[in-house]
Structure 1
Amino acid sequence: MTAPLLSLTWTDHVTGRQGHLVIDRLVRGVSSGGLRMREGCTLEEVTGLARGMTMKEALHYNPAGKYVPLGGAKGGIDCDPQDPRAYGVLVRYLSAMRPYIESVWTTGEDLGLTQDMVDRAAAEAGLVSSVQAVYRLLDDEGSARRRLADAFAIEVDGLGLDELVGGCGVAESVLAALDRAGVEYPGTRVSLQGLGTMGGATARFLARAGLRIVAVADIKGTIANPRGLEVEALLAARDGYGTVDRAALRPDDLELPGDAWLSAEAEVLVPAAVSYAIDAANQDRITARWIVEAANMPVLPEAETLLARRGVTVLPDVVVNSGTNAWWWWTLFGDIEADADAAFAYTRRSMRELVGQMLGRAERDGTTPRAAAHAIVADRLPVISERFGWYR
């Protein structure tokens, strides 16, 4: 792949905090990728995430679909989202990036930010929407925008549909891997890092499929129970940052150190919080058979090499957590309506097909699932470029 199309760093004149924008590629003149806010966010991190978005878009290319994949992009702000000044930094960042958001970059919630907060800050920055750059590609903008707004208004058992579809995609990736290996759901144990938007929804879908959630980590530490945690009670006890009120724990639930989720006795490990969580130094603590990347870039390359030597399979983020982004566009372009059952069915079917393609290619090529996903992207990008060009 080539270098990013655009890469820039912005400095907030009030706080000195920095923000980054990387547009990796344009398709039909538009790119897609969320905006994250976390202390220590770097341009290098955002560049890797933007490249990942190019891959996620290409992986969901369906020539017969109404949604045509966009280019990849990503934004990032180096600021603790719980800092009292964070919202002001966000508004000023969006104001500075307004020319790009109006013309070439569609964005939304990511680590540290909710879509409600992004929408509110975007309005203060004078933007019509955080995804307004894509409107010119729509056949009927009014109907499309109403459809997406209706979809965002849907709640299922107390959680928004926009929060649930990503977790549905992650869970379906886990289930597809278990089915391929002939492993039954009951008795399969899962440990998660993060109970925020992605981790919480993933925990719900896996628990309802019959898997046992034995450990969950948040900023306060790891909550564990080898008999299985009460997922719905933990979800109900979360704050806006995914931190669980310990008063909701049962007497036999354990409170362990923050990194205890890594070494939990489980078949499936789901890092669903920060990037770079698993490195060469801590990977040897993992006993799980599968690591399923719900977060972006949680497993460092050197760690993945060592894990592969030990027979641990990593299902990569570019496939596993791509459902949220795809759902936005499936809904906006009209492949699905604003309906929870339709969203879950379409997500499950699409993720099953994609995970199956990836694992099948990995077996045929004798390589890792990540290398197989990259190979699928390498096949599809020239097709997309031939049909739509690089920029127009």
Structure 2
Amino acid sequence: MTTAPPLLSVDWTDPVTGRTGHLVVDRLVRGVASGGLRMRAGCTREEVAGLARGMTMKEALHYDPDARYVPLGGAKGGIDCDPRSPEAYGVLVRYLRAMRPYVESMWATGEDLGLSQDVVDRAAAEAGLVSTVQAVYPLLDDEAAARARLADAFAVRVAGIGLDALVGGCGVAESVLVALDRAGVAHAGTRVSVQGLGTMGGATARFLAAAGLVVVAVADVKGTIANPAGLDVEALLAARDGHGGVDRSALRPGDRELDGDAWLEADAEVLVPAAVSYAIGPAEQGRVRARWIAEAANMPVLPRAEELLARRGVVVLPDVVVNSGTNAWWWWTLFGDVGADADEAFAYTRRAMRSLVGHVLDRAEREGVSPRAAAHALAADRLPVLEERYGWY
């Protein structure tokens, strides 16, 4: 898929701390683009631009002419700041205040790496915004009903965890299950290693464990926790802090603490990088023992590493497909394809992801290309359809 320059790129410098931030709008559909806001030390404009292009593809991949939800364009925001820094919240508020014209008119955003939706919503209100998705409101048939439906959905909790924090992991897990089913591999007993136990990684681990898979390793900022007999996923989730760090007092006697990157070489069939971008480069890929890598994070596998993994028979299920469920669920709910109900949301997510992953893997097999190349080709087929129907802007 060819890469055109983004429509809009905005750089920002915080007048108080000197920290920098970026907004990249890759494409607009009906005047609006969608994409989360991340905060991490070292975040660059190039990283944000790549993520914005990815959002354009994620939106296009979920285009269904029979659905109420019409895909938006792709965008992304990023702030170069450690979210654990005492300065972080103030930086976030000032960034959103500076970006307020874009959020009000064209950029629908939400949580991403380093930020929770609660924190983003609180900062947005302090910055004077009605909502982080208010740019979409003019596209709705019944704005009041749609906003109420989304608010009700965000209030739904499953086993103490918000529905919004679970649907993305449901989509990642379903992507893994599709790959296993196509390979004739039983769910029960298949081993998984997960990097990151935040919103996406934690929910993915929960859904995979519920499907019978065995989570043998998880990594957080403190290191890797491993147990070849299987970890108690629910106990680890209950022991998390706000950034996905696990209280080690929750570990069982058979659980071992290993180095932070030990998750890479866990004896597992499935690897789920669900934390940072660029986690698996050419050097790291040589340590991977898994048969599948499901990209729950954005851009965790570098292109050269993916080439080397493919030579060894390791299949990378790409981020533009695998982790697209969270974004899609927001819009399915807001536009009215699903209601504020957990069972309905999970069922819709599973159906949509199973269909999408199936299409991508079918095309990859038929054309002899990687799943990523197949996903990009599928997005490239759908973008002109969206352009013809709704225009570039």
TM-score by length of 2: 0.99
Question: Which residue number corresponds to residue 313 of structure 1?
Answer: 315
- Superposition deviation, residue 186 in structure 1: 1.1
Instruction: Supply the AA of the counterpart residue of 2:120.
Output: V
Aligned equivalents of 2:70, 2:8: Cα separation in 1: 22
Describe the superposition over 1:303-347 as per-residue Cα deviations: whole angstroms up to 9, x where unpaired: 000000000000000000000000000000000110000000000
Describe the superposition over 1:268-322 as per-residue Cα deviations: whole angstroms up to 9, x where unpaired: 0000000000000110000100000000000000000000000000000000000
Aligned equivalents of 1:355, 1:124: Cα separation in 2: 39
Question: Which residue number corresponds to residue 180 of structure 1?
Answer: 182
Instruction: Supply the AA of the counterpart residue of 1:180.
Output: R
Question: Which residue number corresponds to residue 122 of structure 1?
Answer: 124
Question: Which residue number corresponds to residue 254 of structure 2?
Answer: 252
Listed as ranges, the matches of 1:189-204 within 5 Å are 189-204=191-206
Aligned equivalents of 1:251, 1:269: Cα separation in 2: 24
The one of 340, 343, 346 equivalent to 1:341 is 343
Are residues 1:331 and 2:333 paired? yes
Aligned equivalents of 2:264, 2:160: Cα separation in 1: 29
Describe the superposition over 1:40-98 as per-residue Cα deviations: whole angstroms up to 9, x where unpaired: 00000000000000000000000010000000000000000011011000000000001
Identity %: 80
Aligned equivalents of 1:14, 1:299: Cα separation in 2: 35
Instruction: Supply the AA of the counterpart residue of 1:262.
Output: L
SS at match of 1:258: coil
Instruction: Supply the AA of the counterpart residue of 1:301.
Output: P
Are residues 1:5 and 2:7 paired? yes
Matched residue count: 391
Aligned equivalents of 2:169, 2:222: Cα separation in 1: 22
Question: Which residue number corresponds to residue 269 of structure 1?
Answer: 271
The one of 36, 39, 43 equivalent to 1:37 is 39
Aligned equivalents of 1:202, 1:187: Cα separation in 2: 16
- Superposition deviation, residue 2 in structure 1: 1.6
Question: Which residue number corresponds to residue 94 of structure 1?
Answer: 96
Aligned equivalents of 1:282, 1:216: Cα separation in 2: 17
Aligned equivalents of 2:118, 2:289: Cα separation in 1: 38
Aligned equivalents of 1:377, 1:32: Cα separation in 2: 16
Runs of 4+ in 1 over 2 A off after TM superposition: none
Question: Which residue number corresponds to residue 155 of structure 1?
Answer: 157
Aligned equivalents of 1:251, 1:364: Cα separation in 2: 48
SS at match of 1:213: strand
- Superposition deviation, residue 146 in structure 1: 0.4
Question: Which residue number corresponds to residue 227 of structure 1?
Answer: 229
SS at match of 1:170: helix
- Superposition deviation, residue 122 in structure 1: 0.6
Aligned equivalents of 2:15, 2:145: Cα separation in 1: 39
Instruction: Supply the AA of the counterpart residue of 2:284.
Output: N
Aligned equivalents of 2:230, 2:119: Cα separation in 1: 34
